[in-house]
Amino acid sequence: MIPLRDNVPSSRRPLVTWTLIGLCTLFFLFEQLLPKGILAEFLHIYGVVPARYTDKAYAAAMGYPPGGYESLVTYMFLHSGWLHFLLNMWVLWIFSDNVEEALGAWRFTFFYLTCGLLAVFSHVLFNWNSTIPVIGASGAIAGVMGAYFRLFPKARVVTLIPIFIFPWIIELPAVVFLGIWFAVQLLSGLSGAVTQGSAASVAFWAHAGGFAAGLGLVRLFLPPGCQYCFDPRNRRYDRQD
């Protein structure tokens, strides 16, 4: 399922969202300039390799520099390919503007980074000895999706569902779209798919952990008052100023 748009209005420029997309774009373009060998080393240093933090012998043998905790933030701005990058930026654009407006710029910035940190902690917890670097904004974006689920339960999302070669476009309640997405991540993680075969490159536990963090923590970041209120007569959210 690919979200195309939602029905929650946005009356302010999402400057933090634009900045996040801009930073991810700059990092991704920089990655494209690196030779493959150097890129692999770069991703191991600035992505999160669980064994680097859980196995001192492995970290020493691989020659990792001491500390390296900056990678807990930098991993959020790196991506493994064009599809990974474009899908993440698109989903961020769809859901992030309303969450940013509801929280405010500074609160949203801290919320986003907090979700990204908790997402990667979730990944490390379930992949304790993994030597594969996890990269991508997906965990932090999953936190934004969890916040959207909590803040806009009656919103609707126009969704593209590819069925073989036929595109099917349908409008779904946001709780259905996001609920299905979260269930897929959680079930995939529980089934062990994250460490098996072709699924090894998908950090399902980071996605599930980020979503749960956003769902559970967003209320702590909300300013007083109702920024968006649902109008049952028009079946839409309206900005409350």
Q: What is the model's pLDDT at position 10?
A: 85
Q: How far apart are alpha carbons 202 and 134 in whole angstroms?
A: 8
Q: What is the model's pLDDT at position 199?
A: 43
CATH class of 2-239: mainly alpha
Cβ contacts of 162-170, under 8 Å, gap ≥ 24: 162/2, 169/4
Contact 116, 76 (CB under 8 A): yes
Give the HSE-up count for residue 130: Cα atoms under 13 Å, Cβ half-sphere.
Answer: 24
Q: How far apart are alpha carbons 139 and 101 in whole angstroms?
A: 20
Q: What is the model's pLDDT at position 235?
A: 57
Going from the C-alpha of 159 to that of each of 1, 82, 96, 174, 228, the distances in angstroms are: 6, 21, 17, 10, 22
In the structure encoding, which two tokens stand for residue 24, read together?
């991810």
Q: What is the model's pLDDT at position 94?
A: 96
The residues spanned by each domain of the chain are 2-239
Q: What is the model's pLDDT at position 201?
A: 64
Which one, of 106, 101, 76, lies nearest residue 207 by Cα? 76
What phi, psi does 226 have (nearest 5°)?
A: -110, 110
How crowded is residue 197: how many other Cβ atoms within 10 Å of its Cβ?
A: 7
* In the block, residue with structure tokens 């099917």: 168
Which segments within the chain are labelled E, that is strand? 2-6, 156-163, 166-173, 228-231, 236-239
Contact 217, 209 (CB under 8 A): no
* In the block, residue with structure tokens 């969202």: 17
Q: How far apart are alpha carbons 78 and 41 in whole angstroms?
A: 13
Q: How far apart are alpha carbons 76 and 214 in whole angstroms?
A: 15
Grouping H, G, I as helix, E, B as strand and the rest as coil, residue 40 is helix
In the structure encoding, which two tokens stand for residue 133, read together?
């670097």
**Could you report the average pLDDT of every consecutive run of 10 residues in the chain (241 residues)?**
91 94 98 95 94 90 87 96 96 96 95 98 91 95 97 93 86 96 91 52 90 96 69 57 47
177-214 residue pLDDT tens: 999 999 999 998 888 744 454 445 688 999 999 999 99
DSSP state of 135: -
Going from the C-alpha of 48 to that of each of 82, 122, 123, 132, 136, the distances in angstroms are: 20, 12, 10, 8, 10
